[in-house]
């Protein structure tokens, strides 16, 4: 038994067993999560399949009413959601509340979207229309860094387009999704939204399931490749939001203090556990020392602590596996480069790693080449703009990135030459539900958000008609 329940066919149900959920700030188990087996997954899929025709038959306005009520309910319980999110994920309470508020915003943005027929031709009695219909049952598979908003990016689009959903959160952060299931139970028709939890066993069953039409996956590139391979057996629709190794390029007309502050925040928010966190910073040689002094001040002033403590700016790494990975990259980088700030792992309970800045690394150091997904940032020098563009692009990833420059035209010219899905100029993390978001190269396939993201939850049909007189 657990305090939390799965949501299947409009009912809160126990799992086949339970597993512990650990608070990363204390390393203590603080809740039991219900675990679904294959039979419970199949029940959830069957419920979503049965609910689909009636949900798809509603008008956009009717579905929007439901989605807006979900947003209202999230906002009404924002403190409760934020506290639970901090307990399972580790982020400071204010950042947790921001994620919940942002989740309601995303739902409302999708509730306002509409899909209309597109007239491709209307001439000489020939009318060609592209008509979009929902797909059926969609599965959401989410990671542990933003468990709530990454689900809402999927759910908002899925529901407004007329689909139903089975959601599977990450094993280390399942509770906020289960609480959302409780909320949704009293708002949505039964079976429209279902939640199942696992310890990494259900993924392959979901991706191969014959009654699931689409998998919307956010997670690592390694798991994304498995999702794509497994989805092939049923030619499932799949969208993959995967890893990144985003470069920040500082141009020589920016104040080092301004660039340092923006880049620090872009690298350290959520303890660096953001797919589009700044993961390597390239700074002109002539500005390097001043930039390092400024960013070191910020790192040294960080308050690294339990996210429930007032004033905490950086919480723990979310789980032991990721903590060990970041620690390994940090120790390796210390042996190759210079520690500019941070670097010492505190001797205390919790998966804490202080914001760390490392200089003087070669481009082939693991901290530069791999996705660290933690608060450890390499700062690299450059002297030639062509060279730094080539170095930024020398990655199998292509998710995001930033360019910082006073001359906006020049900064945008550099941005155009970076091979990533999104490139921000003089800002970071400006993710907006009305603007498409997607990764290129091994950072993703398809995308989410905006009209393009909404269309990923539909199938386009062509209706090509002529009048009998012209036939
Ligand atoms: P992960 O790939 O380990 O897990 C993600 C999800 O996949 C979890 O729910 C997990 O249980 C599930 N899963 C595990 N094995 C599976 C399988 N064989 N088939 C289907 N699903 C399976 O990722 P993570 O460590 O939880 O998250 C961190 C990664 O996510 C980072 O690489 C980060 O960059 C990426 N990420 C990307 C975006 C984006 O929008 N591009 C956003 C956030 C995070």
Give the CATH number, domain containing residue 118.
Answer: 3.40.605.10
Nearest to 29 by CA among 92, 91, 87, 96: 87
pLDDT digit string, tens, across residues 164-175: 999 999 999 999
Question: What is the reported pLDDT for 1?
Answer: 47
Question: Residue 376 corresponds to which tokens in the numbers above?
Answer: 């450890």
Q: Which of 413, 353, 370, 432 is nearest to 246 (CA)?
A: 370
Same domain, 18 and 74: yes
Which residues carry out catalysis?
241, 275
Tokens (6 digits) for 42: 């199949």
pTM: predicted TM-score of the whole model, two decimal places: 0.97
The minimum-distance atom of ligand 1 relative to the CA of 204 is: 19
- Cα(241) to ligand 1 centroid in Å equals 9
**Residues 292 and 360 placed together within one structural domain of the fold:** yes
d(CA 201, ligand 1 centre) in Å: 13
Predicted pLDDT at 254: 97
**How many angstroms is it from 166 CA to the middle of ligand 1?**
16
Containing structural domain, residue 406: 246-425
Residue 183 is assigned to a structural domain of this protein: yes
Nearest residue CA, atom 43 of ligand 1?
275
Q: How confident is the model at residue 471 (pLDDT cuts 50, 70, 90)?
A: confident
358 shares a domain with 271: yes
What's residue 468's pLDDT?
A: 87
Residue pair 135/213 in contact (Cβ under 8 Å)? The answer is yes
Is residue 274, in this structure, part of any structural domain at all? yes
pLDDT at site 470 = 76
**C-alpha 143 to ligand 1 mean position (Å):** 4
Task: Write the CATH number for 371.
Answer: 3.40.309.10
415 and 346 share one domain = yes
Q: Do both 110 and 73 map to the same domain?
A: yes
Of ligand 1's listed atoms, the one at least distance from the Cα of 222 is 2
Strand, helix or coil for residue 183:
helix
- Domain-located, residue 133: yes
Are 67 and 166 contained in the same domain? yes
The verdict on residue 323 lying in a domain is yes
Q: pLDDT digit string (tens) for 56-107?
A: 999 999 999 999 999 999 999 999 999 999 999 999 999 999 999 999 999 9
Q: Which pair of tokens denotes residue 211?
A: 């009654």
Over the stretch 232-258, which tens digit does the pLDDT of each residue have? 999 999 999 999 999 999 999 999 999
**Per-residue pLDDT at 290:** 98
Share of the chain above pLDDT 90, in %: 98
Question: 238 and 264, same structural domain?
Answer: no
**pLDDT tens-digit map of 292-330:** 999 999 999 999 999 999 999 999 999 999 999 999 999
| Residue of minimum CA distance from atom 40 in ligand 1 | 241
Q: Which atom of ligand 1 is nearest to the CA of 223?
A: 2
Predicted pLDDT of residue 2: 63
377 in the same domain as 284 = yes
Query: Do 316 and 202 share a structural domain?
Result: no
Residues listed for the chain: 471
Mark whether 222 and 270 lie in a shared domain: no
Q: Probe ligand 1: pick from 145, 223, 438, 439, max atoms within 8 Å of CB?
A: 223
| Cβ–ligand 1 contact at 170 (below 6 Å) | yes
- Answer yes or no: is 105 within a domain: yes
- In the chain, the number of structural domains is 2
Binning pLDDT at 50, 70 and 90, where does residue 385 land? very high
Mean pLDDT, residues 107-112: 98
- 307 and 360 fall within a common domain: yes
Segment 223-240 mean pLDDT: 97
Q: What is the mean pLDDT of the chain?
A: 97
- Provide the sign of the torsion angle of the four alpha carbons 23, 180, 41, 12, taken in this order: positive
* Residue 202 placed within a domain: yes
**Residue 468 placed within a domain:** no
Give the confidence band of 371 by pLDDT, cuts at 50, 70, 90: very high
- Work out the angle at residue 331's Cα, subtended by the Cα atoms of residues 322 and 391, and round it to the nearest 5 degrees: 85
Residue 471 in any domain: the answer is no
Q: Is the pLDDT of residue 29 over 70?
A: yes
Q: Are residues 117 and 180 in the same domain?
A: yes
Ligand 1 touching residue 244 (CB < 6 A):
yes
């Amino acid at each position: 038994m657990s305090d939390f329940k799965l949501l299947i066919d409009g009912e809160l149900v126990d799992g086949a067993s339970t597993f512990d959920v650990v608070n990363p700030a204390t390393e203590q188990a603080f809740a039991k999560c219900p675990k679904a087996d294959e039979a419970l997954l199949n029940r959830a899929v069957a419920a979503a399949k049965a609910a689909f025709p009636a949900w798809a038959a509603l008008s956009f306005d009717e579905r929007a009413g439901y989605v807006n009520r979900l947003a209202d309910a999230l906002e009404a319980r924002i403190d409760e959601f934020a506290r639970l999110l901090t307990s399972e994920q580790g982020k400071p309470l204010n950042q947790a509340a921001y994620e919940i508020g942002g989740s309601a915003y995303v739902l409302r943005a999708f509730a306002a979207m509409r899909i209309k027929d597109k007239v491709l031709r209307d001439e000489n009695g020939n009318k060609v229309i592209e008509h979009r219909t929902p797909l059926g049952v969609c599965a959401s598979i989410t990671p542990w860094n933003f468990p709530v908003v990454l689900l809402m990016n999927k759910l908002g689009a899925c529901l407004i387009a007329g689909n139903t959903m089975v959601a599977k959160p990450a094993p280390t952060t399942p509770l906020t999704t289960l609480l959302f299931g409780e909320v949704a139970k009293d708002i949505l028709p039964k079976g429209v939204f279902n939640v199942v939890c696992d310890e990494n066993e259900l993924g392959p069953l979901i991706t191969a399931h014959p009654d699931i039409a689409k998998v919307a996956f956010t997670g690592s590139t390694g798991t994304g490749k498995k999702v794509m391979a497994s989805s092939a057996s049923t030619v499932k629709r799949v969208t993959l939001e995967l890893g990144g190794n985003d470069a920040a390029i500082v141009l020589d007309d920016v104040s080092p203090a301004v660039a340092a502050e923006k880049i620090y925040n872009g690298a350290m928010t959520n303890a660096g556990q953001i797919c589009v966190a700044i993961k390597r910073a390239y700074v002109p040689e002539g500005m390097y020392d001043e930039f390092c002094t400024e960013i070191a001040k910020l790192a040294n002033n960080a308050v690294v602590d339990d996210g429930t403590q007032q004033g905490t700016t950086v919480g723990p790494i979310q789980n032991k596996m990721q903590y060990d990975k970041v620690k390994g990259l940090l120790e390796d980088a210390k042996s190759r480069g210079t520690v500019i700030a941070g670097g010492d792992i505190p001797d205390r309970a919790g998966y804490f790693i202080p914001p760390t800045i490392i200089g003087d690394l070669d481009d082939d150091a693991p901290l530069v080449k791999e996705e660290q997904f933690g608060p450890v940032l390499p700062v690299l020098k450059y002297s030639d703009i062509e060279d730094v563009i080539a170095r930024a692009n020398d990655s199998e990833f292509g998710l995001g990135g930033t360019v910082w420059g006073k001359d906006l035209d020049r900064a945008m010219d550099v941005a155009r030459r970076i091979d990533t899905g999104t490139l921000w100029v003089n800002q970071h993390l400006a993710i907006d539900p009305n603007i498409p978001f997607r990764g290129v190269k091994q950072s993703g396939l398809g995308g989410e958000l905006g009209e393009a993201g909404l269309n990923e939850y539909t199938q386009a049909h062509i209706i090509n008609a002529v009048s009998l007189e012209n036939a």
